[in-house]
Structure 1
Amino acid sequence: MIKTFTKTLVLPLGVALGLALSSNIAVAGEQLSQYTAGKVQRAHQLQQDEKVAEAIELLAALTPSKAYDKAFVQRMLGVFYWQQGNTKLAISNLKKAVDSGLLQDEQAWITQRMLADILLSNEEFKQALPHYYALTKAIPENQKADELWLRIAQSHYQVEEWKPVLSAMKRYENLHRKDEVQPLTIKLGAQLQLQQWKSSLPTLQRLILLEPNKLVWWQQTAGIQLRLGRSKDALATLALADRQGVVLSQQDLRTLAQLYAQQGIPERAAKTLATLDNAKTDPQLLADQASYWQMAKEWDTSIHYWRLAAAKNNKHRWALAQLLLQEGQHKIALKELDKVSGRKSDVELARVRAYYKLESFEQALIHAKRANNIEESPASKSWIKYLTQMRKMQQSQVNEPQLTAI
């Protein structure tokens, strides 16, 4: 019942990607050459006037000789390209700016965060990871460390590096105490991939608390409990889901019925099967209900369902006949035995029992001999010997002289 975990990617970048370039330009003016500073200021004004294409054209035409000027311009181009929707050029320019190591101002950390987030959103997970890890080494007070570790967990998850996923999630949970569905889903996926069944159960319980009506969490919980051999817990899980109004699948209901039966509650098992869509028409489901009612010693109800099952599929006729014999309905059982296909020797022996109970010993003996002719067995031989003796006793009683009173 364990479902395959589906990968999900959170695309929001999580930071204000439009860097506060105006203040940064003022600070950086001391380091930028006068010519570059003027062009940068003009480009920033164009961007503010929503003329991003013109701003890009202006900056792209620059060929700064000073390394710091070049890195600063590349950072601005990266931002503008991202705003324009050109992810490839945004990544290229931001990466050059970050890799230069020259941007040490207050926006340097945000620049690298921007690069990492764009790489993540562009599904370049391996490339994003080194940047995220670098960011965790010195996190400004106004930034959230938990978001970084969540992004790291997401990236490792996408490249199927399960142990690092859990390591990152541990760091995330130490910083972020509130349970949320998406992080827990990532954690659960890694736990399932690593087959950490016991550890995954608390995660699933937390998900159930958040999304009590989501069937998959209940299914995975019960499936893992069954895998661990905890049938009682699996029964409690599915039964609780059912009571809380979670719409269980047809297979879940079948499993729930089986668990009820295993735990000695066959009546409940039968009633659970009765809720299935084709419970009244499917011959096997009818037979299963009959079996559960028989386990519950509800003989009449069981006979009713065996009769319905036999009407749909004659292979269930034998079980019906046997239960009729058990309940002393010998004449009806004989009629049903006439309709049983196959099992010739068994059918003959069943007729022997029926005729014996009806005290038709001669008929019983006939069928015992037929059974023995079909297939010799200790049972058929025993019946023949016993019934032959019974017939002799009856004959001797008939032939015994009657004493007359003097």
Structure 2
Amino acid sequence: MIKQFNKLLLTCSMLTAGVWSSSAFAVEPPVLCPGYVPAKTQLIGQSAGKKLTAAFEAYNQDNTPEAIRILKDIEAKEPFDQATVNKFLGQLLISEDDKEEEALKTLIASVDTKVLNDKDHADVLYLAAQLSLQLEKFEDSIAWYEKWMKFTCKEDSETYTRIGQAYTQMKQFAKVIEPADKAIALLEEPKKDPYVLKVSSYMEQKQFKNALDVAKTLVVLFPDDKQWWIMTGQFYMMLEDYTNALATLSAAYRQGFLTKKSDIKLLIQLYSAQDAPIQGARLYKKYLEEGLFEENEQELASLARTYHQAKEYKSAAQYYAKAAAKEPKPDYFQKQGELLLNAEDYKGSIAALNKALEAGIDSPTKVHFTLMQANFYAENFTKAYEHAKESSTDSSLRRNARAWMSHIKTKAKNRGINL
């Protein structure tokens, strides 16, 4: 962008090259300050004027190195001549690789003393600001932008946005808000850059409520830009306003804005947080089947937990079984068995729980306790009693296990079974 701006200035200057050869220099006052008096027209020396013309001819022939050489060889005697040479030399150096630092020093030399005509002086001030920003001389950049505004009595959104960017780069986040607000006030049409500066500033300062307010404005101004919807939902979550977070992200989902795995996972979490885990589970299943989520052990177990939270016990058990097929962890079999017990599938529960024991579960007595219940409800009283005795060896289960043993004996006796 700097090189494009600089090329435009050079092109305008080239239009005056012909009059330099006759030692004339046009003054184009851009200044709007109250009481402004245009600078006195100055004439460039004939010798310098001829060499400047030669430099522009070389530039027109795409021979910038030759143009730079000609300008560097000029030995100007008058301050105005030297400032004019420095201005155009600095502009040409910008277009050369690794010459930006030299270009900036040369441009600054052209405005150190106010001898250029007002338009050129103003243009160089702005160019120095942009080049300083590019060279990460952020404090200098701000100073040059302010000098340009003071000299021209002009303000515009782009200038204040760049000042805000400079403060951001210096990590002076509290100072970003004022220029960003001024940039927004001067906008003729909505642009996102100054708003983004404010969001970033508030985030860095951990002022999440303020950041949310700006993000909501971005949603209104740029409703087709998905990132603002997602950002707004995330800020609501950070503020623990899960109701509005879900409303925002579900609206974004309906518009097709949630396409990343992380965004879908966030929506699934919000459904669970808002007591709608079944919707989260259905969403999870959809994207697992469509391939957004890899069908691996972790994803299958996570989907199982989501169904469990929704009290969809058979579906939860089904996905724990699929997880176990990928990685036969004893815990998966145990959870499958417990869920099938809740779903009153006692035969399936017993089979899964036995697999947990075979796989070397860390807490076998707890599995025995569940097996006791599954066998009891399946009316396998002998097996139920055996598992009750096994679970009674665990001090944390002993009291309940013994109570069950008594209950199992009674039930078995009523059925004519002697334990």
Q: Note whether the superposition's TM-score is higher than 0.5.
A: yes
Aligned match of 1:25: 25
Tell me, yes or no, if the aligned pair for 2:161 and 2:193 is still in contact at 8 Å.
no
Alignment of 1:138-177 (within 5 A): 138-139=151-152, 145-177=156-188
Give the Cα–Cα distance (whole angstroms) in 1 for the partners of residues 272 and 200 of structure 2. Answer: 32
Q: Deviations over 1:52-103 (max 9, x none)?
A: 6666555544444444443344334334444667534432222112112344
Q: Which runs of 4+ in 1 moved over 6 A?
A: 391-395
Measured at CA, do residues 17 and 150 of structure 1 come closer, stay the same or move farther in structure 2, by a change above 3 Å? farther
Give the Cα–Cα distance (whole angstroms) in 2 for the partners of residues 359 and 43 of structure 1. Answer: 109
Tell me, yes or no, if the aligned pair for 1:139 and 1:145 is still in contact at 8 Å.
no
Aligned match of 1:404: none
Secondary structure, aligned partner of 2:332: helix
Give the Cα–Cα distance (whole angstroms) in 2 for the partners of residues 212 and 365 of structure 1. Answer: 65
- The residue type paired with residue 386 of structure 2 is I
**Structure 1: runs of 5 or more not aligned:** 1-9, 399-406
Aligned match of 2:323: 309
Alignment of 1:1-400 (within 5 A): 11=2, 14=5, 16-18=8-10, 20=13, 22=16, 25-26=25-26, 31-32=42-43, 36-51=44-59, 56=68, 59-82=71-94, 86-103=99-116, 105-139=118-152, 145-208=156-219, 216-274=227-285, 275-276=287-288, 277=291, 281-312=295-326, 313-314=328-329, 315-341=331-357, 342=361, 343-375=363-395, 377-388=398-409
- The residue type paired with residue 323 of structure 2 is A
Give the Cα–Cα distance (whole angstroms) in 2 for the partners of residues 117 and 102 of structure 1. Answer: 22
Secondary structure, aligned partner of 2:151: coil
TM-score, normalised via structure 1 length: 0.79
Q: Deviations over 1:6-58 (max 9, x none)?
A: xxxx64664742254737714599644xxx52124323433453456666555
Give the Cα–Cα distance (whole angstroms) in 1 for the partners of residues 249 and 379 of structure 2. Answer: 51
Of structures 1 and 2, the one with the larger relative CO (CA 8 A, separation 6+) is 1
Measured at CA, do residues 13 and 204 of structure 1 come closer, stay the same or move farther in structure 2, by a change above 3 Å? farther
**Structure 2: runs of 5 or more not aligned:** 28-38
- The residue type paired with residue 9 of structure 2 is L
- The residue type paired with residue 340 of structure 1 is A
- The residue type paired with residue 283 of structure 2 is T
Q: Deviations over 1:350-378 (max 9, x none)?
A: 23223333445444333322221354622
C-alpha RMSD of the superposition:
3.5
Instruction: Please report how far the alpha carbon of residue 244 of structure 1 lies from its aligned counterpart in structure 2 after TM superposition.
Output: 1.3
Tell me, yes or no, if the aligned pair for 2:54 and 2:70 is still in contact at 8 Å.
no
Tell me, yes or no, if the aligned pair for 2:58 and 2:67 is still in contact at 8 Å.
no
Measured at CA, do residues 65 and 293 of structure 1 come closer, stay the same or move farther in structure 2, by a change above 3 Å? closer
Give the Cα–Cα distance (whole angstroms) in 1 for the partners of residues 301 and 100 of structure 2. Answer: 62
Tell me, yes or no, if the aligned pair for 1:208 and 1:217 is still in contact at 8 Å.
yes
- The residue type paired with residue 306 of structure 2 is Y
Give the Cα–Cα distance (whole angstroms) in 1 for the partners of residues 341 and 244 of structure 2. Answer: 38
Once the two structures are overlaid, the 10-residue window that deviates more, 317-326 or 116-125, is 116-125
Measured at CA, do residues 55 and 334 of structure 1 come closer, stay the same or move farther in structure 2, by a change above 3 Å? closer
Measured at CA, do residues 279 and 108 of structure 1 come closer, stay the same or move farther in structure 2, by a change above 3 Å? closer
Aligned match of 2:33: none
Instruction: Please report how far the alpha carbon of residue 181 of structure 1 lies from its aligned counterpart in structure 2 after TM superposition.
Output: 3.4
Measured at CA, do residues 76 and 330 of structure 1 come closer, stay the same or move farther in structure 2, by a change above 3 Å? closer
Give the Cα–Cα distance (whole angstroms) in 1 for the partners of residues 71 and 413 of structure 2. Answer: 120
Once the two structures are overlaid, the 10-residue window that deviates more, 214-223 or 148-157, is 214-223
TM-score, normalised via structure 2 length: 0.77
Once the two structures are overlaid, the 10-residue window that deviates more, 269-278 or 61-70, is 61-70
- The residue type paired with residue 25 of structure 1 is F
Instruction: Please report how far the alpha carbon of residue 382 of structure 1 lies from its aligned counterpart in structure 2 after TM superposition.
Output: 1.8
Give the Cα–Cα distance (whole angstroms) in 2 for the partners of residues 54 and 39 of structure 1. Answer: 18
Instruction: Please report how far the alpha carbon of residue 320 of structure 1 lies from its aligned counterpart in structure 2 after TM superposition.
Output: 2.1
Q: Deviations over 1:208-260 (max 9, x none)?
A: 56766665444433322211112222222332222212242222222221211
Measured at CA, do residues 392 and 55 of structure 1 come closer, stay the same or move farther in structure 2, by a change above 3 Å? closer
- The residue type paired with residue 151 of structure 2 is A
Give the Cα–Cα distance (whole angstroms) in 2 for the partners of residues 370 and 380 of structure 1. Answer: 9
Measured at CA, do residues 182 and 385 of structure 1 come closer, stay the same or move farther in structure 2, by a change above 3 Å? same
Secondary structure, aligned partner of 1:179: coil
Give the Cα–Cα distance (whole angstroms) in 2 for the partners of residues 135 and 29 of structure 1. Answer: 20
Give the Cα–Cα distance (whole angstroms) in 1 for the partners of residues 41 and 2 of structure 2. Answer: 37
Percent identical pairs in the alignment equals 24
Secondary structure, aligned partner of 2:251: helix
